[in-house]
Amino acid sequence: MRTSAALLSALAVAFPASAQQQVVRPPIALYWMSVDTASGMGAGMNVMSMMMGGGGGATRTLRLELGSSQSAAGEPRAGHDIPPGLNMGQALPLITPQRARETPRGEYTPESMERPKGRMKIYWGCGENVRAGQPVVIDFAGLAAGQRPPNMVSRQVSGPAGPAFGRNRTYGDWPNAEDAQAVPANASLRGDHLVKGNYSPEIKFAIGERHDFMEPVSFSPLSKTPAGAIPVQWKQLAGATGYFATAMGAAEGTNDIIMWSSSEVQEMGGALMDFVPPAEVARLIREKVVMPPQTTDCTVPGQVVKELGTGFLRFVAYGDELNLVQPPRPQDPKQPWEQIWAVKVRLKSTAGLLLAEGMGGMGGIGGTGGDVGERAQRRSPAPQPDAPEQPQKKDAIGQGVEEGLKALKGLFGR
């Protein structure tokens, strides 16, 4: 024991620098830009307009979020001075939301909850036929009663926590009640950016072509194979780090919800349709959950297509991230890293279409790219984010999904 203690003491003296960890203090201000290009039904197209050849022009969306550890001097005020190429004026206001009054929640007991009906059947994998061991079946009634499916797999997607109202001492975002203008189809983020306010240090940075809006997803027209499968083909997107697809539908004449994902291993994929950091995308590619960026096709199996009926496919191409911190990290580990601000620009391109023959290949979904998107926007005004939604009659999918998600919340704790 004495020899071991002496050895440890000697090592501590011999390597003091390597054992020392640099003190890192978090940034005063954190600024996130979430940049999405959406096409097809993901761009707000409805089923009827697509069936009538209305096209799927791509739309661009932008979400800006500023969080600070400082309090505002008076009413919080902040704004983002944007480059001319964005075509949205000189600046976008970052408004601090008003704290909503909490509404008392009623107590829910097993007796007061309506017992969900139906099942969810989960498939996965690209190919003509489904793999052995599929589907995994979740009975909503059993789930509501506390019965956890023994063969259910759920993956976590790791990532940093961004700015949020209530998480930061002071917060502002865009779009908001003061300014909710649509992003033009020809908008570009390239150029110099300046974020300033009375609760944040000035944030100056530049965005280049690599971190501009991604291209829209471009699908080839869909058709069935003799086995009833549907090959989904797309044009490789510049800057994409990986792809993921999922489809959902209701089995005709039943209360069953059918879900399928392009993952080679079991995965529902709900969390994967959002922004995913490049390091997580790389991990998920290694785990055969996400398709590599060189992939340009994936076949939805015939049995899945048959059960889906006219299913809805969602597709995401993950993009790169721009991460900036001011000041840069000191090379000397003895010197603390006093961060003033940090910026994250995250990218993705998404699309949605019906899994039916003849779909795809129309307007912005086909090989025509952004020009069609621009023409579509000129034909019809972009939907306003704050416009009230019109009440719609729930179909079988809507009712089943709503009931299923209520039951699944207890399973996954969210």
Q: What is d(CA 37, CA 217) in angstroms, rounded to the nearest whole number? A: 8
| 79 found inside a domain | yes
Q: Tell me, what's the pLDDT at 382?
A: 37
User: What is the span of the domain harbouring residue 298?
Assistant: 23-95+115-380+394-412
Q: What is d(CA 250, CA 398) in angstroms, rounded to the nearest whole number? A: 9
- Alpha-carbon distance values, 348 to 97, 211, 269, 315, 358 (Å): 26, 10, 16, 10, 26
SS (H, E, C) the chain: CHHHHHHHHHHHHHCHHHHCCCCEECCCEEEEEEEEEEEEHHHCCCHHHHHCCCCCCCEEEEEEEEEECCCCCCCCCEEEECCHHHCCCCEEEEECCCCCCCCCCCCCCCCCCCCCCCEEEEEECCCCCCCCCCCEEEEHHHHHCCCCCCCCCCCCCCCCCCCCECCECEEEEECCCCCCCCECCCCCCCEEEEEEECCCCCEEEEECHHHCCCCCCCECCCCCCCCCCEEEEECCCCCCCEEEEEEEEECCCCCCEEEEECCCCCCCCHHHHCCCCHHHHHHHHHCCCCECCCCCEEEECHHHHHHHCCEEEEEEEEEEEEEEEECCCCCCCCCCEECCEEEEEEEEEEEEEEECCCCCCCHHHCCCCHHHHHHHHHHCCCCCCCCCCCCCCCCHHHHHHHHHHHHHHHHHCC
| 347 found inside a domain | yes
| 52 found inside a domain | yes
For residue 211, count CB atoms less than 10 angstroms from its CB and return exposed for 0-12, middle for 13-18, buried for 19 or more: buried
Amino acid found at 38: A
Please list the ranges in the chain whose pLDDT falls under 70. 1-20, 41-56, 100-117, 141-154, 358, 360-414
Tokens linked to 286: 């290694």
| 54 found inside a domain | yes
How many structural domains is the chain composed of?
A: 1
Q: What is d(CA 349, CA 340) in angstroms, rounded to the nearest whole number? A: 31
Q: What is d(CA 230, CA 95) in angstroms, rounded to the nearest whole number? A: 46
Q: Would you give the distance in Å from CA 357 to the centre of its chain? A: 27
Q: pLDDT tens digit string along 115-150?
A: 556 788 999 999 999 988 899 888 876 665 555 666
Residue 328, C-beta contacts closer than 8 angstroms, at least 6 positions apart: none
| 101 found inside a domain | no
Taking Cα atoms as reference points, which of 208, 375, 257, 234 lies closest to residue 316? 234
Find the length of the chain: 414
| 105 found inside a domain | no
| 102 found inside a domain | no
Q: pLDDT tens digit string along 204-228?
A: 999 999 999 999 999 999 999 999 9
| 350 found inside a domain | yes
Pairing of strands 257-261, 242-250: antiparallel
Interior/surface letters 161-184, b for 16+ CB within 10 angstroms, e for the rest = ebbebeebebbbbbbbeeeeebbb
CA dihedral 43, 45, 51, 55 (to 10 degrees): -50
